[in-house]
C-alpha cells in the first residue's frame, strides 16, 4: 500500500488555518452551502482496512469558512509512533484555482476544491505538477458523519478507490 494511503488513512489535504473559526458564516450562496461541512471531523481509525499497528492514532480534519468564498482546511495526523504531521490550505470552493499546501507536503503540494452541493466537496490533489489523488467528501443526512472516497494510482500502477469514515468531533 502506498505511503499516502496507509499513513494518511483518510487524509484530505484540505485544512483549517489555526486561529480561524467557523463562527462567522459566509454570505454568498456558494459559501453558505459549505457551512454544512464546516467543523472538526475525526477519522474512525477502527474502520481502516489496514492492520491496527499500521493505523494512525488519529486523523483530524478541520474545515472553516474563509473570506472570499474560500475554504480553510487543516489535516492533523498523529502516526502510530506519536509523530504529528499537519497540512493546511485556503482555496476557493468553485474549482477556479489551485493553491499551494503548507506544512507537510509528502502526499501533495497543491489542491483545488469544488463544492458540488451543500453535502459534497471534491478535492483534487497534485504533487510535483502531477495528479496525486482525488477525494470526494459526502456529508450524511444526519450531518454527523462524513465519508471520504479517495481515488489514486497505487504503487503497482493500478487504480485504487478507498473509503474512509469521519465523525463530527465538534
Quote the number of domains for the chain. 1
Q: Cα separation of 93 and 142, whole Å?
A: 23
Q: Which residue has the cell 502510530?
A: 80
pTM above 0.95, yes or no: no
Check residue 170 and give its pLDDT: 79
Q: Which three cell numbers stand for residue 47?
A: 474502520
Residues paired with residue 39 on neighbouring β-strands, in sequence order: 63
Structural domain boundaries enclosing 43:
3-168
Residues paired with residue 137 on neighbouring β-strands, in sequence order: 121, 148
Q: Cα separation of 56 and 84, whole Å?
A: 10
Residues paired with residue 103 on neighbouring β-strands, in sequence order: 87
Check residue 34 and give its pLDDT: 55
Residues of the chain with pLDDT under 50: 1-29, 32-33
Whether 78 contacts 84, CB under 8 Å: yes
Write out pLDDT tens, residues 153-162. Answer: 999 999 999 9
CATH code: domain of residue 149 = 2.40.128.20
Angle CA(109)–CA(151)–CA(9) in degrees, nearest 5?
75
Residues paired with residue 115 on neighbouring β-strands, in sequence order: 121
Amino acid at each position: 500500500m502506498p505511503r499516502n494511503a496507509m499513513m494518511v488513512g483518510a487524509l484530505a489535504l484540505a485544512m483549517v488555518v489555526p486561529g480561524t473559526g467557523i463562527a462567522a458564516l459566509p454570505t454568498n450562496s456558494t459559501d453558505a452551502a459549505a457551512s454544512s461541512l464546516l467543523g472538526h471531523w475525526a477519522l474512525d481509525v477502527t474502520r481502516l482496512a489496514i492492520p491496527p499497528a499500521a493505523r494512525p492514532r488519529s486523523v483530524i480534519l478541520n474545515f472553516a469558512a474563509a473570506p472570499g468564498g474560500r475554504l480553510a482546511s487543516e489535516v492533523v495526523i498523529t502516526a502510530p509512533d506519536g509523530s504529528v504531521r499537519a497540512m493546511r490550505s485556503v482555496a476557493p470552493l468553485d474549482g477556479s484555482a489551485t493553491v499551494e499546501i503548507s506544512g507537510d507536503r509528502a502526499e501533495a503540494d497543491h489542491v483545488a476544491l469544488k463544492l458540488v452541493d451543500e453535502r459534497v466537496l471534491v478535492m483534487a490533489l497534485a504533487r510535483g505538477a502531477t495528479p496525486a489523488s482525488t477525494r470526494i467528501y459526502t456529508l450524511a443526512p444526519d450531518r454527523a458523519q462524513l465519508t471520504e472516497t479517495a481515488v489514486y494510482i497505487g504503487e503497482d500502477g493500478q487504480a485504487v478507490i478507498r473509503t474512509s469514515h469521519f465523525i463530527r468531533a465538534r
